[in-house]
Amino acid sequence: MSMLICCNGCHTPIQLPPGTTAFRCIVCRSIGNTASPSSAPILYPPVPPTTSSNYHGQKKAVIIGILYKNQKGELRGCINDAKTMKDMLIHRFNFNESSIFMLTDEETDPRKIPTKHNILIAMSWLVNGCKSRDSLVFYFSGHGGRQPNNTGDEKDNYDETLLPLDHGTQGPIVDNDINDIVVKPLPTGVKLHAIIDACHSGTVLDLPYLCKMDRSGRYSSWEDHSPKSGTGKGTSGGEVISISGCADHQYSDDTNALSKEKMPAGAMTYAFIQAIQNGQGATYGSILHAMRYTISTRYKPGAVGRKQDPQLTSGHHFNVYTEPFSL
């Protein structure tokens, strides 16, 4: 089983194969070794009990909702989103509550506050020790951003980012690091779904393929987003699919205009859950089509000049209208 440790320099969590003695941090690039006292194994979040059936192995999820209270750009619906998503995973997809690690800025447990350090630990925990038939979910509701990329490995020359609660001092979480932590380690037979309700989130997992839709909202083709350098952005044999709130150049809105109860929520999260609850969740294509229809017809963000088109990216090509959706 792999080992989860802290970087000697910046204390970022790092997942290492068994027997590893030296490593280079993906964030600060410093070289460390597992014999150092500062590289002691991380003991939290706790490993959940296995929830299994004849088909599924273990189910684990990390759910993050950030309001950025008392900060510029404070949001309203992200904790509601996180709670709704957790409820759906438990009651619709049979996740054990103890296998869900949730971070929000209303938590009092310091381990569950969505700082950059805690989010990186949670991401590493999610994939640590995963094996064939495991089903993993990474959900984020909060701010997303983008920054210039100078390495030439981005189609639009921008890196996409997620903003932790302390991004003002610790900086964002960049798509390259998200890919390194939760995508590349996945072994054969493991399936990870990322559900990202944030601005500029279309390719925030840095997956190699983007599902393109035509003007009617139907599947058109898979667009290749593999790095020009040829560097691999796929898994170690596992399967990753990301459903995100908008294209890389767009914004994901936080609104109370969609629900009848006028409860603040992310437009993407609301549309995703509505698609599942309304029986439109049979395939990935039906979910994406339903989400786009809900946002464009009920919310009409284009009326205020902000178009929002949920996106689907993947580590491999597949037929979005025949591939069954399941978590």
pLDDT bucket at 93, cuts 50 / 70 / 90: very high
Residue 54 has pLDDT above 50, yes or no: no
Give Cβ neighbours of residue 87 (< 8 Å, ≥ 6 apart).
Answer: none
Which pLDDT does position 50 carry in this prediction? 46
The lowest-confidence range among 246-250, 289-293, 304-308 is 304-308
Which pLDDT does position 9 carry in this prediction? 62
Which pLDDT does position 37 carry in this prediction? 47
238 vs 157: which has the higher pLDDT: 238
Residue 147 has pLDDT above 90, yes or no: yes
- Give the integer Cα–Cα distance in Å for 240 and 126: 13
Per-residue pLDDT of 238-272, as tens digits, reads: 999 999 999 999 999 888 766 666 788 999 999 99
- Tokens standing for 151? 């390495």
Q: Radius of gyration over alpha carbons of the chain, in Å?
A: 19
Average pLDDT over residues 197-206: 96
- Give the integer Cα–Cα distance in Å for 242 and 207: 8
Per-residue pLDDT of 41-51, as tens digits, reads: 554 565 554 44
Average pLDDT over residues 100-128: 94
Instruction: Please say if 316 is a catalytic residue.
Output: no
* From 11, 117, 143, 225, active-site residue: 143
Max mean pLDDT among 21-25, 50-54, 261-265, 319-323 falls in 319-323
Average pLDDT, the chain: 85
- Give the integer Cα–Cα distance in Å for 24 and 32: 6
CB atoms within 10 A of CB 85: 26
Q: Where in the chain is the domain with CATH 3.40.50.12660?
A: 56-314
Which pLDDT does position 188 carry in this prediction? 96
- Give the integer Cα–Cα distance in Å for 268 and 240: 19
Query: What percent of the chain lies above the pLDDT cut of 70?
Result: 78
Instruction: Please say if 211 is a catalytic residue.
Output: no
Average pLDDT over residues 271-277: 94
Residue 35 has pLDDT above 60, yes or no: yes
Q: Which run of H or of E encompasses 91?
A: helix 78-91
For domain 56-314, give the CATH number. 3.40.50.12660
* From 6, 7, 130, 199, active-site residue: 199
